[in-house]
Amino acid sequence: MIRNIAIIAHVDHGKTTLVDQMLRQAGAFRANQHVEERVMDSNPLEKERGITILAKNTSVHWHGTKINIVDTPGHADFGGEVERILRMVDGFVLLVDAAEGPMPQTRFVTRKALALGLKPIVAINKIDRSDAEPLRVHDEVLGLFIDLEATHEQLDAPFLYTSSRAGTATPELDHPGTDLTPLFQAVIDHIPTPTGDPELPFQMLVSTLDFSSFLGRIAIGRIERGRVRVGDQVSLLPMGDPGMVVDEPMENGRVTKLYTFDGLARVEVQEASAGDIVCLAGFETIEIGKTFTSIEVPERLLGIAVEEPTISVDFIVNNGPFAGRDGKYVTSRQLRDRLFKELERNVALKVEPTDSPDTHSVSGRGELHLGILMETMRREGYEFQVSRPRVITRIGENGERQEPYEELMIDVPEEYMGVVMERLGPRRAEMKEMRNNGTGLVRLAFKIPARGLFGYRSEFLTDTRGTGIIHHRFLEYGPWAGPLAGRKRGVLVADREGSVVAFALGNLQERAQMFVAPGDLVYEGMIAGENSRPGDLDVNVTKEKKLTNMRASGSDDNVLLEPPRQITLEYAMEYIEEDELIEVTPKTIRLRKRVLQVNDRKKAARAAARVADAS
Ligand SMILES: Nc1nc2c(ncn2[C@@H]2O[C@H](COP(=O)(O)OP(=O)(O)OP(=O)(O)O)[C@@H](O)[C@H]2O)c(=O)[nH]1
Ligand SMILES: [Mg+2]
């Protein structure tokens, strides 16, 4: 007996924590086994950031039934991944935070899951929160289901009130849950058993990919029908319309390895049959959306469309003065090879060469998607530079230029509503909804060009003193919104190479927020801080105090310095302008001007002014 479920939700609503508890309560761990919190977030970046990046499979046994579980990422950039894995399950557990209620990503993943005809179980989660309003959220989820045209059967979904953290579920708030038994029972009772007939010819859709240096590409999916054994000859069909495939080139080969999921482990098996989720290796041309079949009956399943990227950046070889000091891999060849290798698993990514062999255009689903790639590469020892992100425009049906729009949702204390609206106006945000829940918090929903959001997050956090919550996700393509104002403040640019001196910063910090600290190395053209006014300033951050007697540099003063602003990759991507670059190395992230020499920049500015005057 098998059940296949996906756990879906908006970011942070508690999916991975719930899977932890399901594993624990179903006895997936040995009694004395030490297990880390949110064990499914197994890659180091996931642990560090506390978010799920890749969907992952696991399984538990509950009273004789095997439940395959797919934990999914909640961040909007990875929505495509959720959509793909939904093809290997028969039902889903939708988690909704009992205080936040349905959020943009809740709507997105729920729409996809309902449209596939999957059976839902709703878990109103985090009911232990002091601001939880489970009954209100219950109604909101029902409203969402109706809005998304759920079928009668889907509307009949069991609703549970849960705390992932405590590991409890209950169908009735008056009777607090003690464990997850009601959830397991709901899965057994309401999620259908996979219907595929094991006696029919083998057929399986590749829903996700994995890669191992030992086995090469590994396909993960649910066996639609039939059975498969290690050593079997099977066909991997090319992409195309569903139905019988005749006269198309396909890869016929032998299955070399088969695994199923069992708790945190993958277990090697000799045979698997309809309904189970397996990993299958042995084929070179495995791709998401392709169908495996028996040789005799090459019948293709409906494929999976991979979502189109919406933003792109240039990855450029590091040509700054400090190039090669930190990194192991710095040449254009190494950069190129690494970027193309990424395409094996990162299916929503695009890499394109440009006119310059030093530059590749890399496109993805958002800043987090691209930021994770950059972070991963720098940890592997790569060094490179990144341009300001551009939105990917397209041409509409009537030949008009279109750009991506985002759905933006903001929760703020009432007193900050004014400043939010004031900032978003010039960014071309259009308000769609405003709701005051009476507790002093306001929820605002906007539609805004993706471009308009660049750089807004950090402004928002400052404006609302960290009390606000902001979420956005891709909505649709719409008309080009015209020019948008760039960064309001200029930057301080180092005018020479050297080591940063406290004395110099002491003099500058009145009118600037620094990005560097005493002792840091800077070069001419590197950005050292933010000017509190518009316009860039060339400054000497290596300037020593005139010494009257011998003192060591750097420690020559008792100036009290504000700590420098921490520059993260995502922050940098939002921050920089077109004439600037991010220099990424394993040890540091620096911002710089594209043109490094002060004089060259001045010349370029004069030339630009002349062009502007003439037009
Ligand atoms: N109060 C409370 N906090 C919870 C509960 N479940 C999870 N959390 C907290 O919410 C945060 C996010 O939990 P995760 O399990 O990582 O959420 P997620 O849905 O997997 O997040 P993504 O995978 O990034 O979308 C963590 O800090 C958890 O400790 C709960 O039932 N109650
Ligand atoms: Mg998670």
Q: Tell me the average pLDDT across 390-401.
A: 93
Q: Does 12 sit in the ligand 1 pocket, CB within 6 Å?
A: yes
Q: Tell me the average pLDDT across 499-509.
A: 92
**C-alpha 206 to ligand 1 mean position (Å):** 29
d(C-alpha 39, C-alpha 28), whole Å: 12
pLDDT over 80 (residue 486): no
pLDDT over 70 (residue 55): yes
Percent of the chain having pLDDT more than 70?
A: 98
Q: Tell me the average pLDDT across 88-112.
A: 95
Chain centre to alpha carbon of residue 538: 36
pLDDT over 90 (residue 318): yes
The CA-based angle 118-445-472, given to 5 degrees, is 65
Where do we find the tokens 């791709």? Answer: 287
Residue 610 confidence (pLDDT): 85
Residue 479 confidence (pLDDT): 95
**C-alpha 134 to ligand 1 mean position (Å):** 16
Band of residue 32 on the pLDDT scale cut at 50, 70, 90: confident
**C-alpha 69 to ligand 2 mean position (Å):** 13
Q: Tell me the average pLDDT across 553-570.
A: 77
Span 539-561, pLDDT tens digits: 999 998 876 655 555 555 567 88
d(C-alpha 138, C-alpha 125), whole Å: 10
Q: Tell me the average pLDDT across 187-207.
A: 96
Residue 293 confidence (pLDDT): 97
Q: Tell me the average pLDDT across 554-583.
A: 85
Q: Does 16 sit in the ligand 1 pocket, CB within 6 Å?
A: yes
**C-alpha 521 to ligand 2 mean position (Å):** 38
- Single pTM value for the model: 0.90
Q: Tell me the average pLDDT across 288-293.
A: 95
Span 159-193, pLDDT tens digits: 999 999 999 999 999 999 999 999 999 999 999 99
**C-alpha 109 to ligand 1 mean position (Å):** 17
Residue nearest to atom 24 of ligand 1 (CA): 51
Supply the mean pLDDT for the chain. 93
Tokens of 485: 């104002």
Is 86 buried (19+), middle (13-18) or exposed (0-12) by CB count in 10 A?
buried
Chain centre to alpha carbon of residue 281: 27
Atom of ligand 1 nearest to the CA of 37: 29
Q: Which residues contact 424 (CB under 8 A, 6 or more apart)?
A: 408, 446, 448, 452, 456
Residue 615 confidence (pLDDT): 66
d(C-alpha 187, C-alpha 189), whole Å: 6
Bridge-based pairing of strands 216-225 and 208-212 is: antiparallel
d(C-alpha 299, C-alpha 250), whole Å: 12
User: Which H or E run contains 335?
Assistant: helix 332-342
d(C-alpha 582, C-alpha 378), whole Å: 13
Q: Does 164 sit in the ligand 1 pocket, CB within 6 Å?
A: yes
Span 233-246, pLDDT tens digits: 999 999 999 999 99
Q: Does 589 sit in the ligand 1 pocket, CB within 6 Å?
A: no
Instruction: Report yes or no: 91 and 109 within 8 Å, Cβ to Cβ.
Output: no
Which protein residues have a CB closer than 5 Å to ligand 2 (ion)? 15-16, 52
Q: Tell me the average pLDDT across 486-511.
A: 91
Residue 409 confidence (pLDDT): 93
Nearest to 520, CA basis, from 573, 571, 561: 561
Residue 555 confidence (pLDDT): 52
Residue 548 confidence (pLDDT): 61
Q: Tell me the average pLDDT across 461-470.
A: 87
Q: Does 163 sit in the ligand 1 pocket, CB within 6 Å?
A: yes
Span 439-459, pLDDT tens digits: 788 999 999 999 999 888 878
Whole-number Cα distances in Å, 306 to 57, 80, 107, 303, 488: 20, 7, 19, 10, 37
Tokens of 425: 């106006």
Residue nearest to atom 2 of ligand 1 (CA): 126
